Chains A and B, each alone.
Chain A
């Protein structure tokens, strides 16, 4: 970890308009929770649905995409990464620092609002559902961030590819093909949540014994890939 890189990355992420982008979605989740609470529509099923569909399946991947690609993608595109790469710093340190910043951002902008919404929805307190979803978002956030950081190092089209994965693969295809559904970070994170809550509305297709190793594997693989590819990052602007 390198604190200088972390500080610059945080400033780049939070200083621009991107910060508003990061705030918009979590705000919507919290506002929705408040609205449901006021209108008295927050029974167990609705609460589980909101936390799962909006929190875990939408807010989490989108924020991880913004944060994961944002911590390193624009820097590679604009060439500022040169100022970091022309220093005697091992490449894995750079990748781990960028990843840590992305994870902190995802936790702050996805996990905290999820916890908050769980507390606002009165049924969120029952069956430990609020905290369970929060933990699911926390672990899912780590895996998503690792994948999207790696994607940003590997491809200039990281955001597009990430969106296709999150929207088409995880959400759309998951509805039709059960196999695709199980092979998604979303389901693995949901599996963690499922284990922590007794609510029957929360149902994962993947066993915890399978989900946890897969989450770890994806995180490690993403981090390694990013470090290796950053090591031989050549400058596209050369020509």
Chain B
């Protein structure tokens, strides 16, 4: 059982702060590192993987510093986001080379085992340059697994994968976590994290926005006030009815229609048709106006 501990980690490039005072502990199981694009996820993963020195703070794996310490790679596997592997090698040659670089006792057997784990045997003797995106992702995964590390860091592993490849990789990650490994993966897609991670760390604009059990954070996200845009046959009458009903915090009359701030997402969507029918107003359009992930994140940050 391994633990990756970040203490007050910051990273800046010139005047730009990419990561700002983040402390977190990544333990066994699957942890999702969630945040919009450009939030600093890659910077964080690169610091966890020893590819970037923190400007301040420390990153340690089981007590040992990660930066300038190649020995940590005995217990750390890293899958970088960039696609490029050695395109001129076959999958098998690549994984075998990685096993040899780790100086494993039986590199051949270890390579075969890793290839089997990612189910790439059928394409192992083809050149990596001819692989699809999903295949490349899996062979990179095998390269990170070949020495059977207790800790795995995956940077946007699902990028560019089709749904079937996505499911396969999720299944693989879950199996490995079940064996007691510490796995961290980054993503900007809420649904990916929801399906895979029991524990999530949310990063927004370089800051640690939330941490903990996914369901709790999800509830925080769904319990927030929701903005709806409503167009109807008679906006003024509907506004009065909504206010009278009490399911909204505020209602604004705008050129585009009614902007309603609902207190409770579910209750509002359930009640609105009834209120409209009772007031004898025809609803033309009901659309949530702030459902982007960024708005969810910024709500979390504001809390």
Complex Cα gap A2–B102 (Å):
11
Complex Cα gap A170–B154 (Å):
47
Known: A87-B70, A90-B70. A238 touches B86 (CB 8 A): no
Judged by a CB distance under 8 angstroms, whether B43 is at the interface is yes
- Write out the residue numbers on chain B whose beta carbons fall within 8 Å of the beta carbon of A84: 101
Known: A8-B89, A88-B74. A238 touches B52 (CB 8 A): yes
Cβ A83 vs Cβ B86 within 8 A: yes
Q: What are the interface flags for B15-53 relative to A under an 8 Å C-beta threshold, 1 for contact and 0 otherwise?
A: 000100000000000000000000000110010011111
- Write out the residue numbers on chain B whose beta carbons fall within 8 Å of the beta carbon of A232: 53, 68
Name the distance in Å between A194's Cβ and chain B's nearest Cβ: 42
Q: What are the interface flags for A218-239 relative to B under an 8 Å C-beta threshold, 1 for contact and 0 otherwise?
A: 0000000000000111110111
Chain B, interface size category, equals: 20 to 34
Cβ A88 vs Cβ B68 within 8 A: no
Known: A78-B84, A82-B80, A235-B46. A11 touches B74 (CB 8 A): no
Name the distance in Å between B241's Cβ and chain A's nearest Cβ: 51
- Write out the residue numbers on chain B whose beta carbons fall within 8 Å of the beta carbon of A89: 70, 101
Name the distance in Å between B163's Cβ and chain A's nearest Cβ: 27
Which residues 83-115 of B sit at the A interface, judged by CB distance below 8 A?
A: 84-86, 88-89, 97-98, 100-103
Judged by a CB distance under 8 angstroms, whether B13 is at the interface is yes
Cβ B86 vs Cβ A12 within 8 A: yes
- The 8 Å CB contact of A88, one of B13, B18, B49, B70, is B70
- Write out the residue numbers on chain A whose beta carbons fall within 8 Å of the beta carbon of B74: 88
- Write out the residue numbers on chain A whose beta carbons fall within 8 Å of the beta carbon of B78: 82, 86
Cβ B88 vs Cβ A87 within 8 A: no
Cβ A80 vs Cβ B100 within 8 A: no
Judged by a CB distance under 8 angstroms, whether B82 is at the interface is yes
Judged by a CB distance under 8 angstroms, whether B276 is at the interface is no
Name the distance in Å between A89's Cβ and chain B's nearest Cβ: 6
- Write out the residue numbers on chain A whose beta carbons fall within 8 Å of the beta carbon of B73: 86-88
Please give me the residue from chain B that is nearest to A234 by CB atom: B52
- Write out the residue numbers on chain A whose beta carbons fall within 8 Å of the beta carbon of B278: none
Please give me the residue from chain B that is nearest to A232 by CB atom: B68
Cβ B82 vs Cβ A8 within 8 A: no
Complex Cα gap A99–B101 (Å):
18
Cβ A11 vs Cβ B88 within 8 A: yes
Please give me the residue from chain B that is nearest to A87 by CB atom: B101
Cβ A79 vs Cβ B82 within 8 A: yes
Name the distance in Å between A232's Cβ and chain B's nearest Cβ: 6
Judged by a CB distance under 8 angstroms, whether A37 is at the interface is no
Please give me the residue from chain B that is nearest to A237 by CB atom: B82
Judged by a CB distance under 8 angstroms, whether B255 is at the interface is no
Complex Cα gap A238–B42 (Å):
6
- The 8 Å CB contact of B97, one of A8, A15, A233, is A8
Complex Cα gap A87–B103 (Å):
9
Q: What are the interface flags for A143-185 relative to B under an 8 Å C-beta threshold, 1 for contact and 0 otherwise?
A: 0000000000000000000000000000000000000000000
Name the distance in Å between A2's Cβ and chain B's nearest Cβ: 7
- The 8 Å CB contact of A231, one of B49, B68, B143, is B68
Q: What are the interface flags for A10-40 relative to B under an 8 Å C-beta threshold, 1 for contact and 0 otherwise?
A: 0110011000000000000000000000000
Please give me the residue from chain A that is nearest to B47 by CB atom: A238
Cβ B88 vs Cβ A235 within 8 A: no
Which residues 40-81 of B sit at the A interface, judged by CB distance below 8 A?
A: 42-43, 46, 49-53, 68, 70-71, 73-74, 76-78, 80-81
- Write out the residue numbers on chain B whose beta carbons fall within 8 Å of the beta carbon of A12: 86, 88
- The 8 Å CB contact of B84, one of A11, A16, A79, is A79
- The 8 Å CB contact of B13, one of A5, A91, A235, A239, is A239
Q: Report B's interface with A, CB cutoff 8 A.
A: 13, 18, 42-43, 46, 49-53, 68, 70-71, 73-74, 76-78, 80-82, 84-86, 88-89, 97-98, 100-103, 143-144
Known A83-B85, A231-B68; 7 more pairs at CB < 8 Å = A11-B88, A15-B88, A83-B86, A86-B78, A232-B53, A235-B51, A235-B52
